[in-house]
Amino acid sequence: MPNDCERTRRAIDAFWVDGVDSGPVDGHLAECSACAEFARRTESAILAARAVSVQVPRDLAFRTQFRVSLRAQEMRGHTWGWALWVSLALSWAVGIASAPLVWRGLEWIGRNTGLPEVGVRLAFGLWWAAPAAIAAGLWAFDKRRIEEEER
Protein backbone atom coordinates (compact mmCIF):
# COMPACT_ATOMS: atom_id res chain seq x y z
CA MET A 1 0.00 0.00 0.00
CA PRO A 2 2.82 2.53 0.65
CA ASN A 3 3.89 2.20 -2.99
CA ASP A 4 0.33 2.97 -4.09
CA CYS A 5 0.22 6.02 -1.81
CA GLU A 6 3.60 7.24 -3.01
CA ARG A 7 2.64 6.74 -6.65
CA THR A 8 -0.69 8.52 -6.07
CA ARG A 9 0.96 11.52 -4.39
CA ARG A 10 3.45 11.81 -7.24
CA ALA A 11 0.58 11.69 -9.73
CA ILE A 12 -1.27 14.41 -7.80
CA ASP A 13 1.86 16.59 -7.83
CA ALA A 14 2.36 15.92 -11.54
CA PHE A 15 -1.23 16.92 -12.20
CA TRP A 16 -0.90 20.28 -10.46
CA VAL A 17 2.64 21.06 -11.58
CA ASP A 18 2.83 19.63 -15.10
CA GLY A 19 -0.85 19.27 -15.95
CA VAL A 20 -0.55 15.48 -16.36
CA ASP A 21 -3.94 13.76 -15.93
CA SER A 22 -4.23 11.82 -12.65
CA GLY A 23 -7.17 9.65 -13.77
CA PRO A 24 -5.51 6.28 -13.01
CA VAL A 25 -5.23 7.18 -9.29
CA ASP A 26 -8.91 7.98 -8.73
CA GLY A 27 -9.55 4.43 -7.56
CA HIS A 28 -6.85 4.72 -4.89
CA LEU A 29 -8.20 8.07 -3.74
CA ALA A 30 -11.61 6.43 -3.14
CA GLU A 31 -9.97 3.77 -0.93
CA CYS A 32 -7.28 5.76 0.92
CA SER A 33 -8.46 8.65 3.10
CA ALA A 34 -4.89 9.94 3.67
CA CYS A 35 -4.26 10.31 -0.06
CA ALA A 36 -7.72 11.82 -0.58
CA GLU A 37 -6.91 14.38 2.14
CA PHE A 38 -3.53 15.06 0.47
CA ALA A 39 -5.28 15.65 -2.86
CA ARG A 40 -7.84 17.97 -1.25
CA ARG A 41 -5.19 20.01 0.57
CA THR A 42 -2.99 20.24 -2.50
CA GLU A 43 -5.91 21.46 -4.60
CA SER A 44 -6.96 24.08 -2.06
CA ALA A 45 -3.36 25.33 -1.64
CA ILE A 46 -2.86 25.64 -5.40
CA LEU A 47 -6.19 27.39 -5.92
CA ALA A 48 -5.47 29.79 -3.04
CA ALA A 49 -2.05 30.61 -4.48
CA ARG A 50 -3.56 31.24 -7.91
CA ALA A 51 -6.18 33.58 -6.40
CA VAL A 52 -3.50 35.95 -5.05
CA SER A 53 -3.00 38.93 -7.32
CA VAL A 54 0.38 40.60 -7.36
CA GLN A 55 0.82 43.92 -9.11
CA VAL A 56 4.17 44.42 -10.82
CA PRO A 57 5.31 47.26 -13.04
CA ARG A 58 4.81 46.62 -16.74
CA ASP A 59 8.47 47.07 -17.55
CA LEU A 60 9.78 44.87 -14.73
CA ALA A 61 10.87 42.07 -17.04
CA PHE A 62 12.61 44.51 -19.39
CA ARG A 63 14.41 46.29 -16.52
CA THR A 64 15.50 42.99 -15.00
CA GLN A 65 16.79 41.69 -18.32
CA PHE A 66 18.60 44.98 -18.94
CA ARG A 67 20.32 44.92 -15.54
CA VAL A 68 21.32 41.28 -15.92
CA SER A 69 22.86 41.99 -19.33
CA LEU A 70 24.74 45.00 -17.94
CA ARG A 71 26.10 42.90 -15.09
CA ALA A 72 27.09 40.13 -17.51
CA GLN A 73 28.99 42.62 -19.67
CA GLU A 74 30.69 44.04 -16.60
CA MET A 75 31.74 40.59 -15.43
CA ARG A 76 33.02 39.60 -18.89
CA GLY A 77 35.24 42.66 -18.98
CA HIS A 78 37.01 41.64 -15.79
CA THR A 79 37.66 37.97 -16.50
CA TRP A 80 41.38 38.27 -17.22
CA GLY A 81 42.15 41.48 -15.33
CA TRP A 82 43.22 39.89 -12.07
CA ALA A 83 44.77 36.88 -13.76
CA LEU A 84 46.89 39.13 -15.96
CA TRP A 85 48.26 41.03 -12.95
CA VAL A 86 48.96 37.84 -11.02
CA SER A 87 50.72 36.26 -13.97
CA LEU A 88 52.73 39.44 -14.50
CA ALA A 89 53.87 39.50 -10.87
CA LEU A 90 54.75 35.80 -10.89
CA SER A 91 56.56 36.17 -14.19
CA TRP A 92 58.75 38.96 -12.85
CA ALA A 93 59.42 37.17 -9.56
CA VAL A 94 60.42 33.90 -11.25
CA GLY A 95 62.34 35.79 -13.94
CA ILE A 96 64.42 37.74 -11.45
CA ALA A 97 65.06 34.71 -9.24
CA SER A 98 66.14 32.47 -12.10
CA ALA A 99 67.93 34.99 -14.34
CA PRO A 100 71.49 34.07 -13.24
CA LEU A 101 70.82 30.36 -13.76
CA VAL A 102 69.26 30.89 -17.16
CA TRP A 103 72.14 33.14 -18.26
CA ARG A 104 74.75 30.56 -17.19
CA GLY A 105 72.80 27.78 -18.90
CA LEU A 106 72.52 29.75 -22.15
CA GLU A 107 76.24 30.63 -22.01
CA TRP A 108 77.07 26.95 -21.57
CA ILE A 109 74.83 26.03 -24.53
CA GLY A 110 76.46 28.78 -26.60
CA ARG A 111 79.97 27.59 -25.81
CA ASN A 112 79.21 23.93 -26.50
CA THR A 113 77.21 24.50 -29.69
CA GLY A 114 79.19 27.39 -31.14
CA LEU A 115 76.19 29.74 -30.89
CA PRO A 116 77.35 33.36 -31.25
CA GLU A 117 77.02 35.79 -28.33
CA VAL A 118 74.15 37.56 -30.13
CA GLY A 119 72.20 34.28 -30.21
CA VAL A 120 72.72 33.78 -26.47
CA ARG A 121 71.52 37.32 -25.72
CA LEU A 122 68.55 36.89 -28.06
CA ALA A 123 67.60 33.63 -26.36
CA PHE A 124 67.85 35.33 -22.95
CA GLY A 125 65.59 38.17 -24.17
CA LEU A 126 63.05 35.71 -25.53
CA TRP A 127 63.10 33.89 -22.21
CA TRP A 128 62.11 37.17 -20.53
CA ALA A 129 59.51 38.08 -23.18
CA ALA A 130 57.76 34.70 -23.50
CA PRO A 131 55.55 34.93 -20.36
CA ALA A 132 54.42 38.46 -21.25
CA ALA A 133 53.67 37.39 -24.83
CA ILE A 134 51.64 34.41 -23.62
CA ALA A 135 49.65 36.59 -21.19
CA ALA A 136 49.01 39.20 -23.89
CA GLY A 137 47.89 36.48 -26.30
CA LEU A 138 45.46 35.03 -23.77
CA TRP A 139 44.08 38.47 -23.01
CA ALA A 140 43.60 39.26 -26.72
CA PHE A 141 41.97 35.87 -27.35
CA ASP A 142 39.52 36.41 -24.46
CA LYS A 143 38.70 39.94 -25.58
CA ARG A 144 37.99 38.71 -29.12
CA ARG A 145 35.78 35.90 -27.79
CA ILE A 146 33.76 38.39 -25.72
CA GLU A 147 33.30 40.71 -28.69
CA GLU A 148 32.07 37.81 -30.84
CA GLU A 149 29.58 36.77 -28.13
CA GLU A 150 28.17 40.28 -28.00
CA ARG A 151 27.40 40.23 -31.73
Q: Answer yes or no: do 36 and 93 share one domain.
A: no
Q: Answer yes or no: do 36 and 101 share one domain.
A: no
- The closest alpha carbon to 8, from 35, 33, 34, belongs to 35
Give the pLDDT score at 7.
85
- Asked whether residue 58 is assigned to any structural domain, the reply reads no
Higher pLDDT, 5 or 80: 5
Q: Is the pTM of this model over 0.75?
A: no
- Asked whether residue 64 is assigned to any structural domain, the reply reads no
- Asked whether residue 39 is assigned to any structural domain, the reply reads yes
Q: Answer yes or no: do 84 and 37 share one domain.
A: no
- Asked whether residue 126 is assigned to any structural domain, the reply reads yes
Domain of 29 in residue numbering reads as 2-51
Q: Answer yes or no: do 23 and 87 share one domain.
A: no
- Asked whether residue 13 is assigned to any structural domain, the reply reads yes
The string of DSSP codes covering 7-66 is HHHHHHHHHHHH----GGGHHHHHH-HHHHHHHHHHHHHHHHHHH------TTHHHHHHH
Give pLDDT tens digits for 26-66: 788 888 899 889 999 998 998 888 888 888 888 988 999 99
> How far is Cα 32 from Cα 83, in angstroms, rounded to an integer?
62
> How far is Cα 132 from Cα 85, in angstroms, rounded to an integer?
11
Count how many domains the chain has. Answer: 2
Give pLDDT tens digits for 118-144: 988 898 888 878 877 887 788 788 778
- Asked whether residue 91 is assigned to any structural domain, the reply reads yes
Q: Answer yes or no: do 82 and 45 share one domain.
A: no
The distance from CA 108 to its chain's CA centroid, rounded to whole angstroms, is: 48
Q: What is the 3-state secondary structure (H, E, C) of 119-151?
A: HHHHHHHHHHHHHHHHHHHHHHHHHHHHHHHHC
Q: Which of 33, 51, 69 is the last residue in one of the domains?
A: 51
Q: Answer yes or no: do 43 and 86 share one domain.
A: no
Q: Are 8 and 35 in contact (CB under 8 A)?
A: yes
Higher pLDDT, 42 or 79: 42
Interval 3-13 mean pLDDT:
86
